[in-house]
Structure 1
Amino acid sequence: MSIQRVRSKRAKTDALLADPTLREHVPDTRAFQRSTVEQMLDQYEMIYVKPVNGTFGNGVIRVEKSNEASQPYLFQSGEAKYAFVSFDQMFRKLLDVKKPKPYLAQQGIDLLKYAGRRFDLRIMVQKNPKGRWESTGMIGRLAHPRKIVTNYHAGGTPMSVPTLLKRHLTTEQRKACEARLSKLGVETAEALAKRFPRIKEIGIDIAIDLRIKPWILEVNTLPDPFLFKKLPDRSVFRRIYSYAVAYGRFRVRKRKA
């Protein structure tokens, strides 16, 4: 049986929203349209617009509203920044800059920072050889200093979770936070599997806000396991890879005699 892949961010978000426990960890996410962007900026002051189908942070744009600025509307795409006096001006430019494909608008989360740079976390969750969901790895992703996304392929820096959290939490608090995130990872996989029963692995992008609340930004059903080779503890990658071999994502290479 082949491993199921789900490209649509909307379909995965809907599956999570159907779970009462997970719903509180999912940012407000709506179809991209003019009225939605305007309403969400008034409500949250920062939102992200992102392609419904997309990877590596490609096409993601951060849009902000600051009532105290002379140009209150601004957005950033890649390293390019734009500022505008009116919403109409901003939205016209936004339509020019975004890719010509369906988009979502998502509530912006104020991420924790390390050395002045935003970071989020990637949690790897897999079916183990006994057929149970298990959180097998956790890694931090530190954003490029001039970009809004944390993805490694967009210039983000992989870092260990303890390193990123040590300035925000005590050792005991950090361990409790990591245990909570591991549990959230399993709950997320179980919720998605109800809608997509043939999935075997997921990578969850988690934002930690200033109150240390975790938010599920995105779920990837074709996560990059090799990112975890960047961790000092190589046993994490070895476990992830061995599980992936067990459920058929990778084949074991036979050594030549």
Structure 2
Amino acid sequence: MSSSYIGSKWSKTLPLLRNAETRRWVPETARLSKGKLRSLLARYETVYVKPDLGTFGIGVMRVRRLTGGGYELRHGTKRATYPNYERLYGTVARLRRGRPYLAQQGIKLLKHRGRRFDVRVMVQRSPRMRWEATGVIARVAAPGKVVTNYHNGGTPMPLGRLLKPYLSARGISRQIRSLKRTGVKVAKVIKRRFPGINELGVDVGLDRTFTPWILEVNTKPDPYIFRKLPDKSVVRKVIRYARAYGRIR
């Protein structure tokens, strides 16, 4: 397949699951079914349910198993609790409206002022046709939202600023270099399956041990989010590379 845009999240997850190196960074992910969601909730306190085809975090739901019994479901800014799994899944099925969905192990992400954040790593083919991680930016979830996407109210911020409460300056630099290496490895694996791609936005979650978890891979990432960084050389490079392979005129 040579297309530069791959919409299906499942199609982009499969190559990562089949690769020995990247598999360990992918939260347990499966096609949504009544039985699969139940089994994931038996193993994990939180499970995300998201459309296989979708952007900007639209349609994403978060299901949490409550310690006293029952379940909590959040979507958008709405929250509801259900006394049993049958009632919960009835609502999930109604919101899904017959569309293909995925269920994914929830990761306890690091927080900034009580709001969860994840990281977008921009990986591009350089003018010399080598993969390079050209930009790293954090995205802080809007209050009350379960997704961090900028187009869904998330706030883009420099990752270094958010990691200051957790790591030393040296530790932050090491973490950012590690994320860039992870992004390049992901790009190489995806490229073998989809030869037409020239860029990826790799969405990575960090837990309390700073383990990178690949939450999603985008084959048409927004290059302009990097305008939000104080260092303008980052967005200039991202756009220069995008022009070189024809994404931007």
Give the TM interval when normalised to the shorter protein: over 0.9
- Looking at structure 2, the residues matched to 16 and 8 of structure 1 have their Cα atoms a distance apart, in angstroms, of 14
- The runs of 5 or more residues in structure 2 that have no matched partner are none
Pick the aligned partner of 1:187 from 176, 185, 191: 185
Q: Does the CA-based 8 Å contact 1:204-1:220 persist in structure 2?
A: yes
Give 1:37's aligned residue. Answer: 37
Letter in 2 for 1:52: D
Letter in 2 for 1:11: S
Give 1:163's aligned residue. Answer: 161
- Looking at structure 1, the residues matched to 67 and 38 of structure 2 have their Cα atoms a distance apart, in angstroms, of 13
Give 2:221's aligned residue. Answer: 223
- Looking at structure 2, the residues matched to 3 and 31 of structure 1 have their Cα atoms a distance apart, in angstroms, of 23
Alpha-carbon deviation of 1:3?
5.9
Give 1:146's aligned residue. Answer: 144
- Rg comparison, structure with higher value: 1
Q: For 1:54-105, what per-residue CA distance to the aligned partner results, in whole angstroms no more than 9, with x for missing partners?
A: 1000100000102325xx2111000000101111111111112234310000
Q: For 1:99-125, what per-residue CA distance to the aligned partner results, in whole angstroms no more than 9, with x for missing partners?
A: 431000000000000000000000000
Matches within 5 A, 1:6-155: 6-68=6-68, 72-155=70-153
Q: RMSD between aligned alpha carbons? A: 1.0
How many residue pairs match? The answer is: 248
- Looking at structure 2, the residues matched to 137 and 99 of structure 1 have their Cα atoms a distance apart, in angstroms, of 36
Letter in 2 for 1:247: Y
Q: Does the CA-based 8 Å contact 2:3-2:194 persist in structure 1?
A: no
Aligned residues with identical type, % of pairs: 45
Q: Does the CA-based 8 Å contact 2:124-2:241 persist in structure 1?
A: yes
Q: Does the CA-based 8 Å contact 1:47-1:108 persist in structure 2?
A: yes
- Looking at structure 2, the residues matched to 176 and 134 of structure 1 have their Cα atoms a distance apart, in angstroms, of 17
Q: Does the CA-based 8 Å contact 1:27-1:107 persist in structure 2?
A: yes
- The runs of 5 or more residues in structure 1 that have no matched partner are 252-257
- Runs of 4 or more consecutive aligned structure 1 residues displaced over 4 Å after TM superposition: none
CA 1:77–1:21 in 2, change beyond 3 Å: closer, same or farther?
same
Alpha-carbon deviation of 1:202?
0.3
